[in-house]
Amino acid sequence: MRVLCCVKRVPAPGAKINVTADGLAVDAAHLGFTTSPHEECGVEEAVQIAERTGGEVTVLTLGPAEAAEQLRYAASVGAHLGVLVSTDGAAWDPQRTARALTAAIESLEAGSGAFDLILFGNESADSGGFQVGVRVAYALGRPIVNGIKGIEVDGPVVRARREIDGGFEVYEMDLPAALGVKEGINLPRYPTMRGRLASKKLEITTLVLDAAGGDQALVRLHRPTETVSQTVILGDGPDAAPAAVDVLEELGLV
Partner 1 sequence: MLLVVLEHDRGTLGEPAREALTFGRTLAAKMGVEMHALAIGAGAPATEQVAAASGDHGAARLYTVDHDLLSDFGPEAWGQSLVQVINTLQPGAVLACGSERGNEVMAQAAARLDWPFVANCTDIIPPAGGGGQWSMTRIQWGGSLLEDATLTTGTALLTCGLHTVASAPVEPAPVAPPETQAVAVELDAALARTVVKDRVVLEAGVTLPTAPVVVGGGRGVGSAEGFAPLEELAELLGGRVGCSRAVTNNGWRPHSDQVGQTGTRIAPEIYIASGISGAIQHWVGAMGSKHILAINIDPEANMVVKANWAVIGDLHQVIPAISAEIRRRRDRP
Residue with Cβ nearer partner 1 (40 or 68): 40
CA quadruple 119, 124, 130, 131: dihedral sign = negative
Q: 87-97 as b/e, with b when 16 or more CB fall inside 10 Å? A: beeeebbbbbb
Residue with Cβ nearer partner 1 (48 or 84): 48
Contact (Cβ atoms closer than 8 angstroms) between residue 108 and residue 73: no
Coil/strand/helix, residue 3: strand
Residue 82 Cβ vs partner 1, minimum distance, rounded to whole Å: 24
Contact (Cβ atoms closer than 8 angstroms) between residue 178 and residue 120: yes
Residue with Cβ nearer partner 1 (203 or 227): 227
Residue 39 Cβ vs partner 1, minimum distance, rounded to whole Å: 11
Residue 134 Cβ vs partner 1, minimum distance, rounded to whole Å: 4
Residue with Cβ nearer partner 1 (12 or 197): 12
Q: How far apart are CA 29 and CA 144, in angstroms?
A: 36
Residue with Cβ nearer partner 1 (203 or 236): 236
Residue 137 Cβ vs partner 1, minimum distance, rounded to whole Å: 8
Residue 60 Cβ vs partner 1, minimum distance, rounded to whole Å: 18
Work out the angle at residue 134's Cα, subtended by the Cα atoms of residues 133 and 137, and round it to the nearest 5 degrees: 85
| Cβ neighbours of residue 8 closer than 8 Å, sequence gap 6 or more | 35, 36, 39, 61, 62, 63, 70, 121, 124, 125, 126
